[in-house]
């Protein structure tokens, strides 16, 4: 059975819309060395499509773009119904070649969103500015409908905003109650840059036990949802986009419940306040 309700969308600063719940094909799926097509992954993506997911998040470095392209073709759902994000890894010298290789693997002639995966591989602000101008050039061809960044913190954003002709539409970062980035969130709001959360389930999957456990369990009972769905909804209620994943159909189905109820302002606040009592960063730890 497909989603009972359509997944809500968020309007980006360039006028395009992004579904507020995305299905990631990184982390749990990664096998950077594989050369054969992973049919299990293709089938899992097709299951997600059947359940109603239309927003997929991949990256050059995940080695999953080919499977996403095949799954979308085999699903027979029109390309225009999907929102596909991919990300540039380290090939700064020829960004156009990297981008075109991604399109080829995806079997697509455009992506909805192209992101710089990380700012941590360059030496200077000037390098970041040069990279951003290459994304602007791709955007002008129409093959990257929207452009944005990932794992950017205030100094990285400030650097590119100094010379940007087009501001990033989104910053995809690790965001959950134990990593809330209040200052970065304020900066994004000032520039109308949306926030996408990866690792939204971290408090229950990687950082438990912790101070939000009790409230998340209580709200899951109240709304007849899983604990994960409370954390996904916490992101969505704050105007963010939540990117999660699973290989299990039951979990894929469960996450969709996050679109079927609303948390009250006080409930969002309670999770945030309790979350502030613990700090946990799962990804790119060595950079901080």
Ligand X SMILES: O=CCc1c[nH]c2ccccc12
Point out which residues bind ligand NAI (CB under 6 A).
24-28, 57, 117, 150-151, 172, 198-202, 204-205, 228, 243-246, 251, 283
d(CA 39, CA 45): 10
Interface characters, 246-285, with ligand X (x: CB under 6 A): -------------------------------------x--
Q: Nearest to residue 12, comparing CAs of 143, 114, 175, 147?
A: 147
Q: In this chain, which stretch among 59-67, 217-225, 231-239, 268-276 interacts with ligand X, using CB under 6 A?
A: 59-67
Q: Would you say 55 or 145 has its CB closer to ligand NAI?
A: 55
- Shortest approach of ligand X to residue 32 CB, angstroms? 6
Give the residue closest to ligand X by C-beta.
30
Angstrom distance (rounded) from CA 125 to CA 162: 10
Q: How many whole angstroms separate alpha carbon 93 and alpha carbon 102?
A: 16
Residue closer to ligand X, measured from CB, 53 or 62 = 62
Nearer to ligand X, 61 or 161 (CB): 61
Instruction: Tell me which of ligand NAI, ligand X, none is bound by residue 151, counting a contact when its beta carbon lies within the kind-specific cut-off of 5 to 8 angstroms.
Output: ligand NAI
Q: Counting contacts by CB under 6 A, is residue 121 touching ligand X?
A: no
Q: DSSP string covering 126-157, please?
A: HHHHHHHHHHHHHHHTTSEEEEEEES--HHHH
- Report the interhelical angle of 227-237 vs 213-223 (nearest 10°): 90
Tokens encoding 128: 């970041």
Whether 62 sits among the annotated catalytic residues: the reply is: yes
* Shortest Cβ 57–ligand NAI spacing (Å): 4
Indicate which residue of 53, 62, 178, 255 is catalytic: 62
By CB under 6 A, the count of residues binding ligand X is: 8
CB atoms within 10 A of CB 41: 22
Q: Which of ligand NAI, ligand X, none sits in contact with 64, Cβ below 5 to 8 A by type?
A: none
Q: How far apart are CB 242 and ligand NAI at their closest, in Å? A: 8
117 marked as part of a ligand binding site? yes
Nearer to ligand NAI, 63 or 150 (CB): 150
Contact status: 61 vs ligand X (CB under 6 A): yes
Nearest Cα neighbor of 271 from 241, 236, 245, 243 is: 236
The C-alpha angle 176, 179, 181, rounded to 5 degrees, equals 110
**Exposed/middle/buried for 129, CB within 10 Å: 0-12, 13-18, 19+?**
middle
Residues 6+ apart with CB under 8 A from 274: 177, 211, 212, 214, 215
Among 30, 51, 166, 268, binds ligand X (CB under 6 A): 30
What is the H or E stretch that residue 86 is in? strand 83-88
Binding residues: 117
Binding site for ligand X (CB under 6 A): 26-27, 30, 32, 59, 61-62, 283
Supply the residues annotated as catalytic. Answer: 62
Binding residues for substrate: 117
């Amino acid at each position: 059975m497909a989603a009972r309700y359509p997944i809500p969308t968020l309007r980006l600063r360039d006028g395009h819309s992004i579904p507020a719940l995305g299905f990631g094909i990184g982390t749990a799926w990664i096998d950077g060395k594989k050369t054969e097509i992973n049919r299990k992954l293709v089938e899992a993506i097709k299951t997600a499509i059947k359940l109603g997911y239309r927003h997929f998040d991949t990256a050059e470095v995940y080695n999953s773009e080919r499977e996403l392209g095949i799954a979308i073709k085999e699903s027979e759902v029109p390309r225009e119904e999907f929102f596909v994000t991919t990300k540039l890894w380290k090939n700064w010298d020829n960004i156009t070649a990297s981008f075109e290789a991604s399109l080829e693997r995806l079997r697509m002639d455009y992506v909805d969103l192209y992101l710089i995966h990380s700012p941590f591989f360059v030496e200077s602000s000037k390098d970041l500015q040069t990279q951003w101008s290459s994304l602007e050039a791709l955007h002008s061809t129409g093959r990257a409908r929207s452009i944005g960044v990932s794992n950017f913190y205030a100094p990285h954003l400030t650097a590119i905003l100094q010379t940007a002709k087009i501001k990033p539409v989104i910053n995809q970062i690790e965001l959950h109650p134990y990593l809330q980035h209040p200052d970065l969130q304020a900066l994004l709001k000032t520039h109308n840059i949306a926030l996408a959360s990866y690792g939204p389930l971290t408090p229950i999957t990687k950082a438990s036990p912790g101070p939000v456990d009790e409230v998340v369990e209580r709200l899951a009972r109240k709304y007849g949802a899983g604990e994960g769905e409370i954390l996904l909804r916490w992101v969505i209620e704050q105007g963010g986009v939540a990117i999660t994943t699973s290989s299990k159909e039951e979990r894929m189905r469960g996450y969709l419940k996050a679109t079927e109820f609303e948390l009250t302002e006080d409930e969002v606040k309670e999770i945030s306040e309790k979350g502030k009592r613990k700090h946990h960063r799962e990804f790119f730890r060595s950079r901080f």
